[in-house]
Chain A
Amino acid sequence: MSEHENGRNSFKQGLLKHFSPKQLEKIESFTIGIAGAGGLGSNCAQNLVRSGFKNFVICDFDLVEPGNLNRQFYFQDQLGMLKVEALSVNLRRINPDLEITALSVKINSGNAREIFAGCDAVVEAFDRAEAKRMLVEAFYSSGKFLVSASGLAGWGNTDAIMTLQVHDYFYMVGDLVSEVGANRPPCAPRVNIAAAKQADLILSLALKQKETYSEDYNI
């Protein structure tokens, strides 16, 4: 019988070696929306779960395909599964006590705000530039914390993947120019760096008072 089946969550015990109970309480009180469960979304979610976040709304309508496995948090035996289902399984292997609302829905400008209405922060983790634009437009003036990513294709020059504060509640991660194309594929290192930076912004927000948050990023 596993420790979890015994009623103990050893992952949480481990977290408490790194966070105070008060810090963990703050983290656990947050609900995160993940818009897209591809390279950015699946890896950002993994980082957030390992950081102690428990409440998620994850939205994506794609299936796991072989071309995803170079950078996304899925495995060969999950090919053909809905990404939101496979991701829920993988995240619960890290922490069995997650509350995940997994939605196999295409997000558009008409439903975006409703889907993530209960979230404190939203991660824009889409692939297509037009979809990124749509989500940012939907949440830009919403007062909700929004972290987008743009410019992470290819390899090399990873220090160019920066964090740009656009306003108090909107941050962009990426080099802003490296677009996926024939000679510039999406690869694990740069995609993971961007996803990890997105997760770190949310972790920083959860552990701070919102009004002092922007002092860290005077850009």
Chain B
Amino acid sequence: MKISFNGGTAYIDQDVYLPQFLEQKRINQEKVVIEYNGEIAPRNTWPEIKLQDDDVIYAITFVGGG
């Protein structure tokens, strides 16, 4: 299955949910905002998001300092 991730292409297995995918990408889930198909995905919905072919995901990761 093929999805768009941060502007590039990612190939994933069937039946992968968003938190699982982020884990595979080694993304710290406490420091990231996820845009899923053009909309912000509230984190309480992540476990229900099963990735589909042609999904578009942007992970906006923050680092500390200010």
Question: A53: which B residues are within 8 A, CB to CB?
Answer: none
A39-B32 in contact (CB<8A): no
A152, CB-defined interface residue at 8 Å: yes
* Interface-side segment among A5-13, A15-23, A75-83, A178-186: A178-186
A33-52 CB contact bits vs B (8 Å, 1 = yes)?
00010111100000000000
Which B residues fall within an 8 A CB radius of A?
30-33, 35, 39-40, 42-43, 58, 60-66
Q: Using a Cβ–Cβ cut-off of 8 Å, how many residues does chain A contribute to the interface with B?
A: 33
CB-contact partner of B64 in A41, A125, A129, under 8 A? A129
In chain A, positions 112-168 with a C-beta closer than 8 Å to chain B are 125-130, 132-133, 136-137, 140-141, 148-153, 166
State which of A41, A141, A151 has its C-beta within 8 Å of the C-beta of B65: A151
Q: Please measure, in the bound complex, the distance between the C-alpha atom of A133 and the C-alpha atom of B29, giving whole angstroms.
A: 10
A19 nearest CB across to chain B (Å): 29
Give the CA-CA distance A132 to B62 in the complex, in Å: 7
Q: How far is the CA of A92 from the CA of B31 in the complex (A)?
A: 35
Do B63 and A177 touch (CB < 8 A)? yes
| CB of A57 to closest CB in B, whole Å | 18
Minimum distance in angstroms from A137 CB to a CB of chain B: 5
A177 vs B64: C-alpha distance in the bound complex, in angstroms? 9
Is B62 a contact of A36 with CB atoms below 8 Å?
A: no
CA distance A137 to B62 in the complex (A): 12
For the A-B complex with A133-B32, A137-B43, A151-B65 known, give 4 more contacts whose Cβ atoms are closer than 8 Å.
Answer: A130-B62, A152-B66, A166-B35, A178-B63
